[in-house]
A and B are shown apart, each in its own frame.
Chain A
Amino acid sequence: MSSATLEKAPARPATRRVGRVPSRRDRWSRRAPLLPALVFAIVVTQVPFLVTLYLSTLSWNALRPGSRSFVGLDNYGTVLSDGRLRAALLNTVVLTASAVIVSVLLGLGLAILLDRKFPGRGIVRTLLITPFLVMPMAAALLWKHAIYNPAYGLINGILGGDTDWVSRYPMVAVVATLVWQWTPFMMLIILAGLQSQSLETLEAARVDGATAWQTFLHVTLTYLRPYLELSALLGSIYLVQTFDAVFTITQGGPGTATTNLPYEIYLTTFRKFEYGEAAAAGVVVVIGTIVVATFALRVISGLFKMEVSR
């Protein structure tokens, strides 16, 4: 893996002072630069979760003044038996998984196209990354009004017909918009992987009589695996929190067809004002995320070890 470009090992810093017992002073002078960031992160990101935990034990609807009372775990019962929340969970999984899988596959295809020299490669690359740079809110509006609209949208304008794409295929409409935005992201990471592959390995495979397809399947894809994992992982972290596209294109509908967890909790908080239930749903989401994130961190950790061992 001599040619891989995943970052170089921190072997030096880790071993630099081995053998010398650090003094108290030394330890603190090392910690000092870290502390402001650490304190900031804890205060802004961890404390709110503790508050969420507390709020989740209250029956509190902001529309009914004075209705705040301790109810223990009742909210969790409500939330877990709530059909809407279960639908939202399923929608989140479907939305995230399909958007990630499709954009990784498309990203892989585009990365392979761009890995070869051809006239205007730089321009094509620039064209391809542009969707990712467009503000997500603007992209969602563009697709909703200029592309999907039944009366004057681009799809019906070109193909004819009067299909109302958003109400007919709401989930597909949301996922397609997200795929359009995230494919460039996947492409960039996979392309970086492709370009770091050593030519010698490919040459060796060719000399051994492997066809282009065999080489791709057995050499390139194996080599690309960490890059594919990384792009899927980062994509999932961002896409699982999708809010803009749902808020703009479908408002979670029709019914709950495209309501994902962020949107459902947003509705519970700011439309129904059920603060206690919203907090309990938040806690459930956090627990789910911790389970998924533990797995994800293991993937990152794997990449990390690879980088260290080199």
Chain B
Amino acid sequence: MRRLPWTILAWACGLFFFFPVLWMVLTGFKREADAASNPPTWVFTPTLDGYRQVFDRDLTPYLLNSLMASLFSTLLVLVLATPAAYALSLRPVAKWRDALFFFISTKMLPAVAALLPIYLVVKELGMLDNVWTMVILYSAMNLPLAIWMMRSFLLEVPASVLEAAEMDGAGLLVSIRRVLLPIVSPGLAATALICFIFSWNEFFFAVNLTATRAGTAPIFLVGFISSEGLFLARLCAAATLVSLPVVLAGWLAQKQLVRGLSMGAVK
């Protein structure tokens, strides 16, 4: 019974942190009048009006742009990062440590200092407001993270397994496909998840380089910034919708989340 106060405190903290999210979801199902009431409305008849209006205002293309930018950049990152991680772990280049730190240092350089040249180059190439521009930029943004993560997963492959494959006379590519990939595929999935989350939520480059054609989900939300509460229910419906994919993915993959967020340093 000594556990009871502990349980109550922990639950209270959990609910306190979760409450704004719950409020967002609830408000999304209110009528506008109930959403912007003071005192707050706790009991109400749920309505889908907010969601309907969000789709009427064409949220779908923004979601599709986000999906494209996130999926393709995640793919590109994995294609670049996995061999690189291999060359920094199992069969390392001479200066693997320097290379590893070079990659992480690119993550530390502030995006804002690169904004102007990137904007000018992209404009020159006629690639403003283009999803593929975002794919490239998000890939660069997530590459260091993915390399560090994949490296930590590759290092867990037991040496004996690789040597056994070598002994059997399996070529490099065969041993990668038959031996390495099955072992690291959970790691690959975790890395993909993290890259997807960061791309999906990215705002800084999206707001400066995209507009109506390639605008991603957070860009759809910009319209609500100064809407002064006239559309609180609609705002919450939109916020819930655009957050949903990442929230669900994060819930399902909590274990991998820790490892990914610490770039493989913490299991």
Contacts and interface: CB of A to CB of B under 8 A. Distances in A.
Interface stretch (A69-77, A78-86, A281-289): A281-289
Interface residues of A, number: 111
B262 to A, nearest CB: 6
B261 interface: yes
Contact of B40 (A121, A157, A286): A157
A146 B27 contact: yes
Nearest to A54: B117
A113 B38 CA distance: 34
Contacts of B18: 127-128, 130-131
Contacts of B203: 136-137, 243-244, 247
Nearest to B15: A127
B243 A134 contact: yes
A143 B20 contact: yes
B112 A266 contact: yes
Contacts of B139: 40, 44
Contacts of A34: 83-84, 87-88, 93, 99
B17 A154 contact: no
Residue from A13, A109, A146, A180 with most neighbouring chain B CB atoms (10 Å): A146
Contacts of B224: 141, 145
A27 interface: yes
Given A128-B13, A133-B250, A247-B207, A37 B83 contact: yes
A207 interface: no
A142 B19 CA distance: 12
Residue from A36, A192, A265, A275 with most neighbouring chain B CB atoms (10 Å): A192
B128 interface: no
Contacts of B152: 7
A137 B12 CA distance: 26
Interface stretch (B3-11, B49-57, B177-185): B3-11
B81 interface: yes
B262 A230 contact: yes
Interface in A118-169: 118-121, 123-139, 141-147, 149, 151-152, 154, 156-158
Contact of A41 (B103, B137, B156, B267): B103
A36 B147 CA distance: 12
B135 to A, nearest CB: 11
A135 B200 contact: yes
B68 interface: no
A48 B121 contact: yes
A261 interface: yes
A46 B103 CA distance: 11
Interface in B176-213: 197, 200-201, 203-204, 207-208
A51 B102 CA distance: 19
A163 B212 CA distance: 37
B250 A129 contact: yes
B196 to A, nearest CB: 12
A128 B254 CA distance: 11
Interface string A174-215: 000000100111001101110010000000000000000000
Contacts of A240: 110
A48 to B, nearest CB: 4
B36 A152 contact: yes
Nearest to A27: B94
B140 A282 contact: no
A296 B38 CA distance: 47
B67 interface: no
Contact of A30 (B27, B93, B118, B267): B93
- 9 closest A-B pairs by CB: A33-B83, A282-B113, A51-B117, A138-B239, A37-B84, A124-B14, A44-B140, A34-B87, A137-B218
Interface of A: 5-8, 10, 12-14, 22, 27, 30-34, 36-38, 40-41, 44-49, 51-52, 55, 109-110, 113-114, 116-121, 123-139, 141-147, 149, 151-152, 154, 156-158, 180, 183-185, 188-189, 191-193, 196, 227, 230, 234, 237, 240-241, 243-244, 247-248, 261-262, 265-266, 269-270, 275, 278-279, 282-283, 285-286, 289, 293, 296-297, 300-301, 303, 307
Given A129-B250, A129-B254, 10 more contacts: A45-B140, A113-B10, A133-B246, A139-B20, A146-B235, A154-B40, A183-B17, A196-B267, A241-B110, A289-B109
14 contacts: A8-B155, A36-B83, A41-B103, A44-B137, A125-B14, A127-B15, A134-B239, A141-B225, A147-B23, A151-B229, A184-B17, A247-B203, A262-B110, A285-B113
